[in-house]
Structure 1
Amino acid sequence: MKKKLYYTQFDTIRFFAMLAIILYHYLTHRVSGGFLGVDVFLVLSGFLVTSQMEAKYEQGIKEPYFKKLWSRIRKLWWPMLIISLIGLTFLLLFRRQLLVNIGINLASSLLFMNNWHQIFSGSSYFANMLHPSIMTHYWYVAVYMQFMVIWPIFYGLSRRFTKSKQQSGWVMLGAAVLSAILMAVLFKPGADPSRVYYGTDTRFFSIALGGAAAQLIDVDVLNKKLSDKMGRWGHWVIDLLLVALLGILTWATMHLTDSQPLTYYGGMFAFNALSGILIALLTFPGSWVAYLLKFKPLRWLGQRTFHMYLWYYPINVLFHMVPTSQNWFTGSIWPQILLIMVLACLSYALLEEKRWTVPIFNQARNEKPGHVVSQLKQVFKKQTPILTKVLFVAFVSIFIGGATAVAISKPAENVTVEEKAAADQAKKIEEQNKKRAEQAKKADQGLAAYKQDLTAEQLAYYEGIPAEQARFAYQLPVTFVGDSLMVGASDGLYTLFPNAIVDAVVGRQMYKMAGYMTSLAEQGMLADTVVVDLGANGGFTQDQLNAFLDEIGRDKNIFLINSHVDRPWTADVNATLAKAAADESDSVYLLDWHSYFANDENASSWLGTDGVHFNPEGDQIWLQFVTNGIYQILGKS
C-alpha cells in the first residue's frame, strides 16, 4: 500500500508556528521564544522532504535533482519578488528614509543568500529597531533553499552507505548533534547571536532532526505494538504524549529568549528534537490530537503561511518599528496582524491559485506564454475585464516603483548614523569603566580642581546645570543602566558624575536583564543609587520590571526614566514604569522624561535623523533633566 505523504494536520501546525513568529516581533517580552516558530518550519520541511525521498527510494524511483530544485525555486521566487516590489514601491512613496542598501539586500534575497549577506555585513536579527529593513526576514527563505540544495545530496549519501533507513536516520541524528555543537562553540554569551542564528552550518540540525524523525520513528510499527498490548486504546498513549509535547513546546515559545545561553547551548536543539517527535507522532492513525488539528479554517490559513511570512516583517517594520503617526492602526497590533493575514490570502489567491490572471505577469498555470506584443494587445481589448486591466497597471507600477527604489537607494553601512555613533561610544564606555581608580582619584580633588582638568567639550556639559546640582552630581556614586540613548549621553554622564559607572548597550531590552544586575553587584559596579533608562527598544511586563527591581535591591535609590520614542509600546512601557514608582514603600522614583519631552514645542529638534536618538542638543537637555531629577529627590533630602 502506498504510504500517505501529505497530512492536513501539518497545515495547522504551520499556522501556529507562523502566529508565534508574528507575536514574537510584536510582543517580544511576552512571547520571547516565538522566533522558534521558524525551527518548526525547518523541522517539518526536513520530515516531509525525507519522507518523500524515502518513499521514492523504496519504490526505486529516481527523481531528477535539478528538476525538483527548480520547481522549489520557482514556487518561492515569484511571490518573493512581487511582494518585495510592493514593499519597495511603498517605501518610495511614503518611507524614503528606509531606502538604504536596497540593491544588495534584494539581490541577496532573490539569490537565496540573504542569511550570509547579513552575517558578513554584521546585521542583527535581534536589533530590528536599529536595522529597519523590510527584507531582514528573507534569511529564513535563504536557509530553507540552501537546505533544499544540500539535503537531497546528504540523504542520497546516507542511504548509499547505510543498510536501512534506520541507520540513515542515525547518521542524520549524528550530523544534527555536530551542527548543535558548532552552534554552542561559535555562540558567545553576551554578544549578538545572529551569526549562529543565521548560519546554514549552525542551523543544519533543524532539517537533520526532521529527517531523523522521518527515518527513525515508524508509526506503523509503533501502532502495531500498541495495538497488540492495549487494543483500540493504544492511540490514547500517543495522544497523551502529543499533548505533553505541545505543552512543552508552547512553554518554550513563551519563555526561551533569543539571547540566553541556554537557547544556544542545547535549548534550540532540544526544541527541534521534540518538534520532530511531535510531527512524526501526528501521523499516528486514530490520533484525536491529529484529528482536532484538521480543523478546516486553521488548515486553510496554514496553507497560506509562506505568504504570511513574506508580508509580516514589512508590515511590522513600516507600522510598528519606525516612527509614524500613532492612530488606531499603528497603535494596536491586532489590526496589523489582521492586515498581514488578509494580504497573505489575497497574494496567495493571485499568485498561487491564479484566481485572477494578468497577461505577461500572472498567466494561468497551463497557459503557454505568448508573444509580449500579443499579450499587450490582449490587455487593451474592449472585452478584457476591468479587473485584469487594473491588475496589469498595478503590476507595471510596482515593477517601475521597485526599480526606482533600487536606483535611488543609498549605499551605507549596515547601521544608522546614530547607531554607529552609539557603537563607537560603547567602546569608550568600556575603556572608561577600566579607568575607575583614576576617575575616583580625580573626584577627590574637589569640583573646582576637577574642572580645571576638563576639556572645553567636557566643560560644555555643565551649561544649564546650577552650581548646587553640579556639586551634588560630582560627589554622587551612581550606576547608570540603559540602551543606546544612554550610550550617546555617556560622555556627559561621566563628566557630570565622575563617580559613575555607565552600563549601556545598544539594543538592550528589559526582558533580557534577568541575572544581569546580580552580576554587576558581584563585580562591585552597583552603587546605592541606580538610574535606569530602558524601554526604547520594546515593552516589558510588570512582573519582568518587578523582578529587575528586586534584583537591584529595593533598599537602593532607583530612578526609572520613561520613554519619548514614537512607538506603539511606549504608552504601555511608561504606564508600567509609573506603576512601579507609585509604591511609596520603597525608594523607586520616576523621572518623567516623556512629559518633559512632549510639553516642549522644540523637542523634535533634540532628535537625530532617525527620530529616536538624541543629537548633541538633545543629549545636553536630557543630561540636565536627569541631573535635576536626581537632585530634587536626593540632593534636598
Structure 2
Amino acid sequence: MKNLQEKYIAGLDGLRAVAVLMVIGYHLKLPIFKGGVLGVTIFFVISGFLITRLLLQELQKTNKIDLKNFWIKRIKRIWPALILMVSVTVILSAIFNRLVFTKACRDFISALLGYNNWYQIFNNISYFDNGGAPSPLLHCWSLAIETQFYLIFPLIIIIIAKFKSTKKERHQVLSVITTLLIIISAILMAVLFNPNGDPSRVYYGLDTRCFSLLVGALLAIIVESDIKIGLTKPANDIIGIISLVCVCIIVTKVAGYDAFLYKGGYLLTSILTAFVILSILRKQSMLSKFLSIPVIDWLGKLSYSIYLWHYPIIILISGGQSASLSIMLLEVTLTLVASVLSYYLVETPIRRGILSKTIKMLKDKIQKDQRVIKKGITIASVCLALVVTSTLCVAFVPKENMSDDIVQESSNKVVKKDIKKPETTPSTTNSQDSQYVDLSNGQEIINNLDVFVIGDSIVSGSFAKFQETFPHLKLSSKESRQANLSIPILTSALNEEGWNGDSLIFALGTNGPLYDYLPKVRELLPQDKTMFVISLHAPYTQWQDDNNQKIEEFCKNTDNVYLIDWAQYCKGHNDWFEKDQTHPNKLGGTEQFLNCIKESIIKAYQKDKIKLTKKS
C-alpha cells in the first residue's frame, strides 16, 4: 500500500491517549465513560498491528525473525515500569491499607510474570464485582494477554515462513489463519458469555480476547502486502472519523458488562479501531493531524505509564468507589506525576540502552571479576524491587483474607420458609368494624402483611431479622443469585405452592445487571399484589448505578410498584456494613436494613391507602 507512513506513525500515540483516557474515565466511574473498558480493546488492536508489522518487515528484510531479540525488546519495554509500579504499590498498600495490601500480595507474582488474567480466572476473581476494594494490580490482566500474544503469534509467523518462501504466499496463508482465529475467538466469547452471570471469564481470557490483537495483526498483514485499496483522501478521512466517533458513542452508551459487547460489540470496536488506524496511516490525514496535537501526542507517549499507575492510585485513595470531584482531580494529578517520573526516569533511559551502556562502561573500567560484576548489575537492577516486595508479602500478609469477611451463615443454600407467628395483641380499633387493617397504625400493617421476599446473600444474612419483623413471611434467598432466577421462583410460588399473599419484595441486582427482568416479574405478579424493589448499596460492583437507575425509573413509572430506597437510607453509614460495603453487618446493619424496608412499606400503604386484609 502506498502513501502510508513508514516508521514513526504520526497520530498513533494520540490514539493511545484517547484509549487511556477512556480507561481512566471508566475506573473513576464517570457516567460518560460507562464503556471505557473499550480503551483496552483499542490498545490491543494497536499492539497487534505494530508487533505484526514489525515482525513482517524484519522477515522481509532479513528473511528471518530474531525471536530472542524480539522478546528481549518486549521485556525492556514492559518490565522496568511494571516492576517499579508493582513494587511501589505493594509498599504503599502495606503502609496505608492492609486489605489492599493483602490483595496486592496475592497478585504481584502473576502481574510480573504475565499470567495475571489466568490467575483471576482460575481463582474466580471478578473484574466487575469485587468483595471490597479490588486488587490494585487487577488491571495487569491486559498486560498478561499482550505478553501471551507476544509469545505465541511470532511463532505462528515463523512456522508459516518455513513452509512459504515468498512474501505473497506467506501473507496469504497468514491472513487466512489470522482471520480464522479471529472468528474462532469471537465465537468463543459469544458462546461462553452468560448474560445472567458475571462476564469476567470471557473478559479475562486470552482465547476470548485475542481477536482484538488479531484484528490489528490482520491490518498489518494487509498494509505490508501489495494490496491496493484505492481510497481517496476524503474517503479515507471520512471512514476514519466516522469509525472513531462510533467507538466513542459505544463507550458512552454501553456498559462494560453489557451483553452487546460480548455478542459482537468488542469485535465491532476492534474493526472500527482498525479503520481508525488505517486512516491515521495515510500521510497528512485529518485524524493523524488531529491526534498529533502536541498535548494529545504527549499523553499518548505517556499512555503505558498512565495505564500502569492510574489504577493503584485510584484504589489506594478512593478504594475504587465513586469519589468527589476534588478526590478525582487528586487521583488524576498523582497519576500524571507518577507517569511522568516513570516515563522520563525509567522507560526512556532503558529504551535508549542505559543498562547496556552502563554495563559496557563498567566493563571497560573494571577488568577483575568482570563477569561477576556484569551479571550482578544486570540482575540487581531487576530483582531489588522483587526482593523487597517478596519479603513484605511473606512477612506481613495476614494469614486470613480479611477482605472476605462477609456474612456466611446463610450462604450457599436456599432458604424457603413460611413463618406464622402467634396472633399479636389486637389494636384498640374495634376488629368487628372492618375486615381491613387500620392504616394509621404502621405496626399493624407489618403484622398483617403477607410478604414474599426474593433475594440473594444480603437477604440471607438478614434472615433472622426478617423472621422477627414479618409474622407472615415467605422467603427465598441464595448467595450470588441473579435477577433472572426471580422468574421461575415466582412462577413456582404462584402456580405450584399457591402463594396468595399481599406483597412481593424484590431484593436482587447485587450480583449482576437487572436487564429487563423487573417488568417481567411485575407482569407475572397478579395486579392486586403490591411489589417493592430494594435499591442497591454495592459500591464495588460496576452495575450498582445502572441497576439503581433502572429500579428508580421502574418504580416511578409502574403502577402498584414502590421503591425501598436502601441506597439513600444507608448513605454515609459505612459502619452498617461488612468490609465489602455491601452486606449489612450484625452490629446494627441488618436492623437498619429491616427498618428501611418497614418504613417504606408503611409509607406506601398509608400514602396510597392500599387495602390490607386482617389476618386471622
- What's the TM-score bracket when you normalise by the shorter of the two chains? 0.7 to 0.9
1:311 maps to which residue? Answer: 309
> Which residue does the alignment assign to 2:86?
84
1:174-232 CA-partner distances (Å, limit 9, x unpaired): 11100111112222121111111111111121111111112235798546x34xxxxxx
Label 1:610 to 1:550 Cα distance change in 2 as closer, same or farther (>3 A).
closer
Query: SS of 1:275's equivalent?
Result: helix
Q: How does 1:144-159 map to 2 (within 5 A)?
A: 144-159=146-161
Q: Give the corresponding residue for 1:32.
A: 34
Query: Which residue does the alignment assign to 1:320?
Result: 318
Residues 1:594 and 2:571 are matched in the alignment: yes
Task: Output the CA distance in 2 between the equivalents of 1:18 and 1:173.
Answer: 27
- Going from structure 1 to structure 2, the CA distance change for 1:218 and 1:365 (only over 3 Å counts) comes to closer
Query: What is the aligned partner in structure 2 of residue 608 from structure 1?
Result: 578
Contact 1:210-1:276 within 8 A present in 2 as well = yes
Whether the aligned pair in 1 keeps the contact of 2:45 and 2:214 (CA below 8 Å) is: yes
Q: Give 1:65's aligned residue.
A: 67
From 209, 213, 227, give the equivalent of 2:219: 213
Contact kept? 1:487, 1:505, Cα under 8 Å: no
Q: Which amino acid aligns with 1:181?
A: I
1:14 to partner: Cα distance: 0.5
Distance 1:315 1:92, change over 3 A: same
Q: CA deviation at 1:488?
A: 3.2
Q: Report 1:363-374 matches (<5 A).
A: 366-368=357-359
Offset, 1:92:
1.8
Sort the Cα spacing of 1:507 and 1:475 in 2 relative to 1 into closer, same or farther, 3 A.
Answer: closer
Give aligned pairs, total: 537
1:313: how far off? 1.1
Contact preservation (8 Å) 1:85, 1:402: no
Residues 74-99 of structure 1 deviation map (CA, whole Å, 9 limit, x = unaligned): 32122212211111221122112323
Cα RMSD over matched residues?
Answer: 3.9
Give yes or no for contact 1:473–1:627 (8 Å, CA) kept in 2.
no
Residue-by-residue CA offset, 1:379-407 (whole Å, 9 max, x unaligned): xxxxxxxxxxxxx9xx9899647732442
The amino acid of 1:558's aligned partner reads: Y
Is contact 2:538–2:581 with CA below 8 Å preserved after alignment?
no
User: When the two structures are superposed, what TM-score results if normalisation uses the length of structure 2?
Assistant: 0.77
Query: In the alignment, what sits opposite 2:206?
Result: 200
- Alignment match, 1:626: 597
TM-score, length-scaled by structure 1: 0.74
- 8 Å contact kept, 1:121–1:414: no
Q: Is residue 185 of structure 2 the alignment partner of residue 179 of structure 1?
A: yes
1:133 Cα deviation (Å)? 1.0
Structure 2 counterpart of 1:47: 49
Check whether the contact 1:508–1:534 (CA below 8 A) recurs between aligned residues.
Answer: no
Q: Which residue of 2 aligns with 1:516?
A: 517
1:496 aligns with 2:469: yes
Give the alignment of 1:87-106 within 5 angstroms.
87-106=89-108
Larger CA deviation: 166-175 vs 515-524: 515-524
Q: Where do 1:454-465 residues align within 5 Å? A: none
Does residue 560 of structure 2 align to residue 556 of structure 1?
yes
Change (3 A) 1:544 1:187: closer
* Secondary structure, aligned partner of 1:90: helix
1:119-167 CA distances to partner (integer Å, 9 max, x unpaired)? 1111011124635211111111111101000010122334555615244
CA distance in 1, matches of 2:112, 2:582: 32
The answer (yes or no) to whether the contact 1:88–1:402 under 8 Å persists in 2 is no
Going from structure 1 to structure 2, the CA distance change for 1:542 and 1:18 (only over 3 Å counts) comes to: closer
Q: Which moved more, 1:307-316 or 1:67-76?
A: 67-76
On the 8 A contact 1:89/1:402 being kept in 2, the answer is no
Asked if the contact 1:73–1:145 (Cα under 8 Å) also holds between the matched residues in 2, the reply is no
Q: Match of 1:383?
A: none
Tell me the percent identity. 24
Contact 1:24 / 1:34 at 8 angstroms: preserved in 2?
Answer: yes
Distance (Å, rounded) in 2 between the aligned partners of 1:181 and 1:532: 36
| Number of the residue aligned with 2:171 | 165
* Aligned counterpart, 2:614: none
Asked if 1:20 is matched to 2:22, the reply is yes
- The change in CA–CA distance for 1:95 and 1:470 in structure 2 (over 3 A counts) is farther
User: Please, which of 328, 336, 341 is the counterpart of residue 331 of structure 2?
Assistant: 336
| Separation of aligned partners in 2, 1:89 and 1:298 | 32
Structure 1 match to 2:342: 347
Separation in 2, partners of 1:610, 1:542: 17
Q: Distance in 1 between matches of 2:590 and 2:362?
A: 62
Task: State the partner residue of 1:578.
Answer: none
Residues 318 and 174 of structure 1, relative CA distance in 2, 3 Å threshold: same
Q: Secondary structure at the match of 1:353?
A: helix
Please, which runs of 5 or more residues in structure 1 have no aligned partner? 227-233, 376-391, 452-465, 564-573, 575-591, 598-602
Whether the aligned pair in 2 keeps the contact of 1:180 and 1:266 (CA below 8 Å) is: yes
Change (3 A) 1:84 1:397: closer
Whether the 8 Å CA contact 1:17–1:38 is kept in 2: the answer is yes
Of 377, 397, 405 in structure 2, the residue corresponding to residue 409 of structure 1 is 397
Q: Per the alignment, do residues 450 and 265 of structure 1 end up closer, same or farther by CA in structure 2, a change over 3 Å counting?
A: farther
TM-superposition CA deviations, 1:312-334 (whole Å, max 9, x none): 1111111222689x88743xx23
Alpha-carbon distance between aligned partners in 1 of 2:200 and 2:549, rounded to the nearest angstrom = 29
Task: Give the match for residue 566 of structure 1.
Answer: none
In 2, Cα distance between equivalents of 1:397 and 1:105? 15
Go from structure 1 to structure 2 and tell me whether the alpha carbon gap of 1:611 and 1:534 turns closer, same or farther (over 3 Å shift). closer
Give the CA deviation at 1:560: 3.9
Q: Residues 218 and 53 of structure 1: is their aligned pair in 2 closer, same or farther, counting only changes over 3 Å?
A: closer
Q: Which amino acid aligns with 2:601?
A: I
Gaps of 5+ in 2: 367-379, 426-439, 476-503, 610-616
Q: 1:472 aligns with which of 430, 442, 446?
A: 446
Q: CA deviation at 1:49?
A: 1.1
Task: Answer yes or no: is 1:282 the counterpart of 2:284.
Answer: no
CA contact (8 A) 2:49 2:219 kept: yes
Q: Check whether the contact 2:49–2:220 (CA below 8 A) recurs between aligned residues.
A: yes
1 CA distance for matches of 2:292 and 2:535?
47
Task: Supply the distance in 1 between the matched residues of 2:441 and 2:336 (Cα, whole angstroms).
Answer: 58
Between the aligned partners of 2:256 and 2:402, the Cα distance in structure 1 is 21
Number of the residue aligned with 1:458: none
The residue identity in structure 2 corresponding to 1:215 is I
Q: Say if 1:210 and 1:544 are closer, same or farther in 2 by CA, change over 3 A.
A: same
How much does 1:48 deviate?
A: 0.9
1:594 corresponds to which letter in structure 2?
K
Partner of 2:260: 262
SS at match of 1:211: helix
When structure 1 is superposed on structure 2, of 270-279 and 309-318 the one drifting more is 270-279
2: CA distance, partners of 1:615 / 1:366: 59
